[in-house]
Chain A
Amino acid sequence: MRLDVDIASKKFRNAAGEQHEVIAGLAFALDAGEVGVFVGPSGCGKSTMLRILAGLDHDFQGRVVRPAGARIGVVFQEPRLLPWRSVEENVRLVAPLADEAKLSALFEILELGAHRKHFPGELSLGLARRVALARAFAIEPDFLILDEPLASLDDALAVRLRDQIAMLVDGRSVMTLLVTHDVEDAARLGDRLFLLSPRPARVVAELPIGTPRRARGDAEIAAIKSDIMRRIDGGLTERDA
């Protein structure tokens, strides 16, 4: 089970007919059970890359080898829940085979137990994100894609959700690809960090982190963060306040 990516080029044509290159020479590999975190400035082409990896966009030059027959779970930047189905129905719809015990455990970890019967329109963004996470984990994915799962949440909530994501990812060693513009998330969640250049995106540096997630102390996190900041030359910002 391994993900092999070599996207030579991805271009978009805008309304005026001009071509823009969004990705230029993006190559990396990810092994089973590894959490790869992509850090890059806003608008550098991260979401475009994720769409290609998720199999939603086939119009690019290069090659993406996904593990054969892998179940893919995706958490989009916007939660993309069905507004006309309850929280539980949204999850069960994609995972009809999931049994009650597993779903309960999942809802428990994500603190969604009280919201099963609610409609997405009645939830805050933070809760809706967690439902999207529950949906992605409910299918017991082999390959998990998370697009800025902590963006636009307040700090306290982001920290809680980050811990929950770490717990879920460790609970079921799943190949995970997480995209963020926040170095703190990267340092705390990743096994292997990929630093992306501004548009057109390519991998500037690859940083494997040896220490397991749970064993990382504050000093080590700070060291990883400053390492990232140094390499990208302050081009990235801390979490948007």
Chain B
Amino acid sequence: MPRLVSFAVFFATWWIASLLAGDAKLPPPPTVLAAMLVEAKSGALFLNLGVTLARVALAFTLAMTLGAAIGYLMGRVRLADRLGDPWLILLLNLPALVVIVLAYIWAGLTEVAAIAAIAINKLPTAVVTLREGARALDAALDEMATVFALPRARTFRHVILPQLAPYIAAAARSGLSLVWKIVLVAELLGRPNGVGFEIGVAFQLFDIPLLLAYSLSFAAVVLVIETLLVQPFEARLSRWRPRAA
């Protein structure tokens, strides 16, 4: 219910703003909805959303898997931390645009280049978060596992992974939002389809309803994923925590 109120306030603000700013600068919701319907009927909307989502999924999975593995290693092994730290700082501070442009120059305007560039942008933040998680692992529980001679796989699954879960969830959430943003830049610069490409087209034609139609459809998809996937996952992971009254 509070969510619905929140949505209503959003649309009301938008409508009022469009009345004040004029249709040319900010079209009201019905105009944008009409543009959305046109794109949906032609099938372009779903195609572009699907392509962008696929890129997000691939880049996100790649970055999270690699980032989690590297971060865990750096948190557990001192030498790995020493060796990896300068690289990490470099990657963290490398602007997304530089990575994308270089990837396109070196690997051509290809799908591989786009996904690799997006993944590289996300990788360091996943590493940093998971490294923090690995550093915070409880030594007392490690000792318990050692004394009771738990096999490695079981220790990892039942002792280590649950401790890392909040860090994985945090990395996933911040990672998703980062990947959403960067994927559009990568598409704008070097892909022939996707939400980013369409927004680029709309920008060149000054077609504001089209621009907003794609932006908002995309935002809606993100919201659905967050509500249906990320939040239930987090709730399940923390079900053992005593609830606050």
Are the chains A and B members of one assembly?
yes
Spot the interface stretch: A76-84, A158-166, A179-187, A197-205: A76-84
Task: Name the one of A71, A93, A122, A139 contacting B158, with C-beta atoms under 8 angstroms.
Answer: A93
Contacts of B240 in A (CB 8 A): 83-85, 119, 121
Q: From residue 58 to 77 of chain A, which have CB atoms closer than 8 A to chain B? A: 71-74, 76
Q: Does B9 contact A (CB under 8 A)?
A: no
Known: A55-B147, A72-B147, A94-B148. 12 other contacts (CB 8 A): A51-B143, A56-B143, A72-B148, A76-B140, A76-B144, A80-B140, A80-B141, A82-B141, A82-B162, A93-B154, A121-B241, A122-B242
Q: Does B146 contact A (CB under 8 A)?
A: yes
User: Do the beta carbons of A82 and B147 come within 8 Å of each other?
Assistant: no
| B174: min CB distance to chain A, Å | 23
Task: Name the one of B147, B150, B154, B241 contacting A74, with C-beta atoms under 8 angstroms.
Answer: B147
Q: Once the chains are docked, how many angstroms separate the CA of A139 from the CA of B146?
A: 14
Given A78-B140, A85-B158, A139-B242 contact (CB < 8 Å):
no
| B73: min CB distance to chain A, Å | 23
Task: Name the one of B140, B148, B159, B242 contacting A121, with C-beta atoms under 8 angstroms.
Answer: B242
Interface of B toward A, CB cutoff 8 Å? 140-141, 143-144, 146-150, 154, 158-159, 162, 240-242
Contacts of B140 in A (CB 8 A): 76, 78, 80
Q: From residue 78 to 130 of chain A, which have CB atoms closer than 8 A to chain B? A: 78, 80, 82-85, 93-94, 119, 121-122
| A146: min CB distance to chain B, Å | 13
User: Do the beta carbons of B158 and A74 come within 8 Å of each other?
Assistant: no
Contacts of B154 in A (CB 8 A): 93
Q: Which of A93, A119, A139 has the most CB of B within 10 A?
A: A93
List 16 contacting pairs A-B, 8 Å CB cutoff, sorted by A: A54-B147, A55-B146, A55-B147, A71-B149, A72-B148, A80-B141, A82-B141, A82-B158, A82-B159, A83-B240, A83-B241, A84-B240, A85-B158, A85-B240, A119-B240, A121-B242
| A137: min CB distance to chain B, Å | 12
| A221: min CB distance to chain B, Å | 32
Closest to B154 in A: A93
| B239: min CB distance to chain A, Å | 9
Q: Which of A71, A85, A94, A121 has the most CB of B within 10 A?
A: A94
Q: Which of A73, A80, A85, A119 has the most CB of B within 10 A?
A: A80
Q: Once the chains are docked, how many angstroms separate the CA of A122 from the CA of B143?
A: 23
Closest to B238 in A: A84
Contacts of B150 in A (CB 8 A): 93-94
Q: Once the chains are docked, how many angstroms separate the CA of A128 from the CA of B210?
A: 61
Q: Mark A127-150, 1 if CB is under 8 A from B, else 0.
A: 000000001000100000000000
| B1: min CB distance to chain A, Å | 31
Q: From residue 193 to 230 of chain A, which have CB atoms closer than 8 A to chain B? A: none
User: Do the beta carbons of A56 and B141 come within 8 Å of each other?
Assistant: no
Contacts of B149 in A (CB 8 A): 71-72
Closest to B163 in A: A84
| B210: min CB distance to chain A, Å | 48
